[in-house]
């Protein structure tokens, strides 16, 4: 009897959770239409509409400033009001407190340079059907196209994420015994900057592509620490990474690579570390069945449409690849966090 009640409760729980998470038909349709509001905002950012609205402007004045069609611009502005991104009174459009802060040039928090990366992502996401058919990106991965505008907005976007997380990563990992850091695919240098700032004895080597290293130099100069960071132009997919590092950092790198490329990178990272040195991976980490966390599952799609063979990976996969490469003491400093640390 007790067993039957338990089985019934398990079934009931299953049915309830399905009911809680399943979408109704109207909700499905609503989700399908979700791109409309997204596209309106992306076009507004792309055209820098919010800067043109400034302290308040008519559709005609906005169209003149951004060199667009007046009737179409008015339609876009009206739609922006409808979704709550602008206000309108007596035919004059006004920014909201949020758009004034983040989307009007001249504001200290102006985020358009990094948000342009989301605008660019829309183009690769539009090819998802083709990617699912083919199993890979159907437009060349952005980083391989070497387009300066793409690269600058990509690195600006990475920098703005890293500015919020780098200090926490350094706290979680610690700098005890760390004198030499290798920042593989270091991007803007945000993590190298945070490490060298945390410990005056620490030096960092940042490895990245020829198109990115000049941007990293600029960011590290602005942070006042460029003299403690060395820059290496190279390909993280091939070749030796160096020797005797105390820490090898792979922040937002593994998701660009295939499982085999990650295995290879972990082997080369192992060789680049001194005995007792640590590898630090910062990335989306999926649960074993790969359907959660939602952000990580969606990011896998971003890699499907944007890279040759990248994806989000699970803790189980990372543990296996690191163990195969010779690492020990696998740990996640925060159980649900985005960091993995292992030791040579």
Ligand X SMILES: C[S@@+](CC[C@H](N)C(=O)[O-])C[C@H]1O[C@@H](n2cnc3c(N)ncnc32)[C@H](O)[C@@H]1O
Q: Which residues are catalytic?
A: 255
Q: Least distance (Å) from ligand X to the CB of residue 342? A: 18
Which residue from 31, 237, 295, 331 is in contact with ligand X, where contact means CB under 6 A?
237
- Least separation in angstroms between residue 23's CB and ligand X is 31
Among 182, 190, 241, 325, binds ligand X (CB under 6 A): 190
Per CB under 6 A, contacts with ligand X among 68-87 are: none
Contacting residues for 288 by C-beta, under 8 A, at least 6 apart: 314, 315, 316
* Span near ligand X by CB under 6 A; candidates 19-27, 112-120, 231-239, 311-319: 231-239
Our CB check for ligand X shows the closer of 178 and 182 to be 182
> Hey, which residues between 100 and 139 contact ligand X (CB under 6 A)?
none
Q: Is 330 exposed, middle or buried (0-12, 13-18, 19+ CB in 10 A)?
A: middle
* 319 torsion bin: left (phi>0), alpha (psi -120 to 50), beta (else): alpha
* By the rule CB under 6 A, 236 interacts with ligand X: yes
**Minimal distance, residue 207 CB to ligand X, in Å:** 6
**Is 310 near ligand X (CB under 6 A)?**
no
Question: What's the closest the beta carbon of residue 191 comes to ligand X, in angstroms?
Answer: 6
Residues 140-159 interacting with ligand X (rule: CB under 6 A): 143, 158
Residue 138 or 209 with smaller CB distance to ligand X: 209
245-274: which residues touch ligand X (CB under 6 A)?
251-253, 256
Note whether 340 and 315 are within 8 A (CB).
Answer: yes
Near ligand X in 194-223, by CB under 6 A: 207-209, 212
Give the separation between CA 212 and CA 186, rounded to whole angstroms. Answer: 9
Q: How many residues bind ligand X (CB under 6 A)?
A: 18
Shortest CB 8 distance to ligand X, Å: 48
Cis (ω within 30 of 0) for the bond into 293? yes
Of the candidates 186, 277, 306, 310, which one interacts with ligand X according to CB under 6 A? 186
DSSP assignment string, 195-247? HHHH-TT-EEEEEE-TTTHHHHHHHHHHTT-GGGEEEEE--TTSS---S-EEE
235 lines the binding site for ligand X (CB under 6 A): yes
Tell me how far apart the alpha carbons of residues 178 and 228 are, in angstroms, rounded to a whole number. Answer: 14
Greatest alpha-carbon pair distance for the chain in Å reads 77
CB of 153 to ligand X, least distance (A): 12
User: What length is written for the chain?
Assistant: 344
> Are 290 and 297 within 8 A, CB to CB?
yes
For tokens 């400034």, the residue is 54
Residues that bind ligand X (CB under 6 A): 143, 158, 162, 185-187, 190, 207-209, 212, 235-237, 251-253, 256
């Amino acid at each position: 009897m007790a067993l039957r009640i338990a089985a019934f409760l398990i079934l009931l729980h299953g049915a309830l959770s399905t009911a809680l998470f399943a979408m109704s038909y109207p909700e499905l349709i609503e989700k399908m239409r979700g791109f409309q509001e997204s596209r309106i905002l992306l076009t507004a950012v792309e055209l820098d509409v919010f800067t043109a609205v400034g302290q308040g402007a008519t559709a005609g004045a906005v169209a003149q400033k951004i060199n667009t069609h007046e009737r179409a611009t008015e339609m876009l502005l009206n739609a922006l009001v409808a979704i709550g991104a602008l206000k309108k009174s007596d035919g004059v459009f006004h920014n909201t407190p949020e758009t004034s802060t983040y989307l009007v040039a001249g504001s200290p928090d102006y985020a358009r340079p990094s948000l342009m990366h989301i605008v660019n992502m829309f183009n690769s996401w539009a090819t998802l059907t083709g990617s699912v058919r083919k199993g890979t990106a159907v437009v060349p991965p952005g980083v391989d196209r070497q387009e300066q505008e793409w690269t600058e907005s990509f690195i600006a976007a990475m920098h703005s994420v890293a500015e919020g997380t780098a200090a926490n990563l350094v706290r979680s990992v610690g700098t005890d015994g760390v004198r030499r850091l290798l920042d593989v695919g270091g991007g803007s240098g945000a993590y190298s900057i945070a490490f060298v700032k945390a410990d005056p004895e620490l030096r960092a080597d940042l490895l990245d592509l020829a198109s990115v290293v000049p941007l990293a130099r600029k960011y590290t100069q602005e942070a006042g620490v460029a003299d403690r960071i060395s820059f290496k132009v190279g390909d993280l997919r091939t070749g030796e990474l160096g020797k005797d590092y105390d820490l090898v950092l792979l922040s937002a790198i593994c998701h660009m690579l295939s499982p085999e490329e990650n295995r290879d990178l972990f082997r080369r990272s192992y060789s680049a570390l001194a005995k007792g040195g640590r590898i630090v991976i910062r990335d989306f980490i999926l649960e074993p069945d790969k359907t959660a966390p939602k952000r990580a599952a969606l990011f896998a799609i971003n890699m499907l449409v944007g890279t040759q063979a990248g994806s989000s990976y699970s803790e189980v996969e990372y543990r296996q690849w690191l163990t195969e490469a010779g690492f020990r003491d696998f740990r996640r400093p925060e159980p649900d966090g985005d960091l993995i640390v292992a030791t040579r």
